[in-house]
Amino acid sequence: MENIQGGALPADAAEPAEQTEVAEVVETPDAPARSAGLVDFLNSRAALLVVGAVLIGAVFWYLQFSTGSLCCGDYDAYYHFRWSRMLWEGMRTGHFPPSFDALPLTTLNPKDYVDHHFLFHVLQIPFTLFSDFQTGAKIGTWLFACLAVFSCYWLMVRNRLSYPLVWLVALVGSSAPFLYRMNMGKAMSVSIVLLIAGLHLLFERKYKWLLPLAFVFALTYDMFMLLVIASFFWLVVKVWSERALNREVAWAAAAFGLVCAGSLMGFVINPYFPHNIVLMYEHLLMKVTPKDFTTTVGSEWYPYSTWEFLGNCGVALAAMVAGYVAFKDSETKAGRRTLLLLLFSTLLMLVNMRWRRFAEYFPPFAVLFAAFALDPLIRRARERYTSREPLPAEAAGAGDASEAEVRNTPARVENARAWELILVGTAFVMLAAPLVWYARVTSQDIAGMAEPDYYRGGAEWMNRNLDKGELVFNTDWDDFPKLFFYAPAFGYVSGLDPTYLLDKDQKLAELYGKLTIARDLNDGEVANLGATIRENFCAGEGASRRCARYVFTDREHKDFYNHALDSGWFDLSYEDEDCAVFRIRDQKGEPVPDNLPAGNVDEQDTDTDADNAPDDEGADNGNTQGN
């Protein structure tokens, strides 16, 4: 035998020891090893991520499939998925990007149209290829929402924050509007994933990757500005913590420059350049204002009332308060990360107070801020009360060494760990309560939205009876996405946002608002209603000029509906419980009787245009625009 620890053992003494050691190895069962392996797995990041993914997926599946329609609030998801399908058709046929002819009177006319969700629409393409278009769209929306929340959870696990599952419950239950808006088929969920990726790159100082990330973000959604702001805040944090213009500050400045450069590249290397810059400027000019808007816009651009904001975002606001109280310094690496989240979440909170539009951004980043701010306090408490190692004398005080040893006796440690379990469990239950409540309320709101076939009857009638490219006067701008989904072969007067028509032609937008609301029309204006629409709402020039000859209206525009029947200018071509389609006569005639049975159509209903007939998906024409 060789020397062991510098000494020599006789051969007769060495052999029994070796035999004993071998016997112990052979007789040791492997069950404890397997048990230890299972415990290690359950405590691993992988297990935390799997459990978190299941929880997130279950909650958002429950919410998304509370309705058969594309969720929710407005119909914009119908526009996004229809346009994604048209992009795919354009790629297949060599017409990319396809022409957008659906809003010819607005700033989104064929010449100036900009898809400022370009890569988001590309990401949606696989979900438009399902045999059931709407089911595919809902699965895509569910997946993107799950990825958004999971990315926030991953950041907590990646940074080894304490009790990540508790923070996940707080995150998912942070706000009712957050749950609601995450279920919309819009680009917000993807933008959160990109923001989290940007924060991770800043935290890990992997600055070179910020350039391609910002490029992708700018091509995906116009909220890329949030990444620019986050990188600027990181520069501020570095300057504040370093107190000098050193290498760390220089690298942070470079990171900010890379984000700005990548964003600019996303605008320039873009199929819609330079119109995308013009549209961005006009959009900011219209929406980023402390004053009231010049026209009625979507409810998401208006503020919450104070009590509504407190009730809807209670957990997020409590998280902000906890984070403010817990945050102490920015001298450590964790402290600098927390300071960035403090600045960023505070900005999002203030912006959310002004515009509901940011309800999907403030709550998750508020919870992230609280999780990072409270983590040092939690760690110190655990080390003090649940560690089996006695506190060093210098930590406990010069004369308190014996007290520290007593405090960390096995009995006291076990007692402290029991209290830890109780406190963590209590926090989990208390945070789960608002999650369940918000999820239930949100599910009820989603379930109350319009059915999947809402407007389908009127849209399919237009597919059968109108010529491709016909300009339709729709009486409500927010009906456009669903009309575009079911009947994309036609143009419409206003849609997606009323400011697009206002910005293009203010007088026409004011006339449109007056005619569609129809409450203040005098007798002369009612008598010439059809002629006014036909003569003023026209698109194109010369031989290609076309004017509105058909009107699509929902059941909420009762004044317009009654005025149209009384004016003598309209034939009621189609009507059901959801909508009505009028045809404007060439000449004024006798008023239409008010009691025309629902579902009646005029003689044109027998003339089927094969090119415009909808397929089994409800509206996926072979003659979509741009093909």
Write down the pLDDT at residue 221: 93
Q: Which residues pair with 491 in a beta bridge?
A: 471
Contact 473, 607 (CB under 8 A): no
Residue type, 607: D
Model pLDDT for residues 426-435, shown as the tens digit of each residue:
999 999 999 9
Write down the pLDDT at residue 26: 46
pLDDT above 70: residue 29: no
| Rounded CA separation 287/355 (Å) | 10
Q: What is the mean pLDDT of the chain?
A: 84
pLDDT above 70: residue 41: no
| Rounded CA separation 439/436 (Å) | 5
Share of the chain above pLDDT 90, in %: 62
Write down the pLDDT at residue 408: 62
Model pLDDT for residues 166-220, shown as the tens digit of each residue:
999 999 999 999 999 999 999 999 999 999 999 999 999 999 999 999 999 999 9
Write down the pLDDT at residue 625: 36
pLDDT above 70: residue 617: no
Burial class of 469 by CB neighbour count within 10 A (0 to 12, 13 to 18, 19+): middle
**Local confidence band at 34 (pLDDT 50, 70, 90 cut-offs):** low
Write down the pLDDT at residue 244: 85
**Local confidence band at 390 (pLDDT 50, 70, 90 cut-offs):** low
pLDDT above 70: residue 4: no
Whole-number Cα distances in Å, 562 to 515, 555, 567, 572: 12, 11, 9, 11
Peptide bond into 97 cis (omega under 30): yes
Write down the pLDDT at residue 5: 39
pLDDT above 90: residue 109: yes
Helix (H) or strand (E) holding 572: strand 570-575
DSSP assignment letter at 189: H
Q: CA geometry: angle at 620 spanning 618 and 623, to 5°? A: 135
In terms of Cα–Cα distance, which of 579, 573, 587, 537 is closest to 560? 579
- Phi first, then psi, for residue 474 (nearest 5°) are -90, 130
| Rounded CA separation 64/331 (Å) | 43
275 compared with 401, residue with greater pLDDT: 275
Write down the pLDDT at residue 592: 72
Model pLDDT for residues 294-342, shown as the tens digit of each residue:
555 556 667 778 888 888 888 999 999 999 999 988 788 999 999 999 9
pLDDT above 90: residue 520: no
pLDDT above 60: residue 622: no
- Phi first, then psi, for residue 371 (nearest 5°) are -65, -45
Write down the pLDDT at residue 371: 97
32 compared with 349, residue with greater pLDDT: 349
Write down the pLDDT at residue 541: 86
Hey, what are 316's tokens? 């997020």
- Phi first, then psi, for residue 574 (nearest 5°) are -150, 145
Write down the pLDDT at residue 309: 85
Please state whether the predicted TM-score (pTM) of the whole model is above 0.85: no
Between 438-447, 486-495, 526-535, 599-608, the lowest mean confidence (pLDDT) is in: 599-608
| Rounded CA separation 441/115 (Å) | 34
Write down the pLDDT at residue 458: 96
| Rounded CA separation 488/141 (Å) | 21
Hey, what are 371's tokens? 């999780």
Domain boundaries, the chain: 114-379, 386-438, 456-606
pLDDT above 90: residue 154: yes
Contact 57, 94 (CB under 8 A): no
**Local confidence band at 288 (pLDDT 50, 70, 90 cut-offs):** low
**356-365, 408-417, 488-497, range with greatest mean pLDDT:** 488-497
What is the pairing mode between strands 546-547 and 538-539? antiparallel
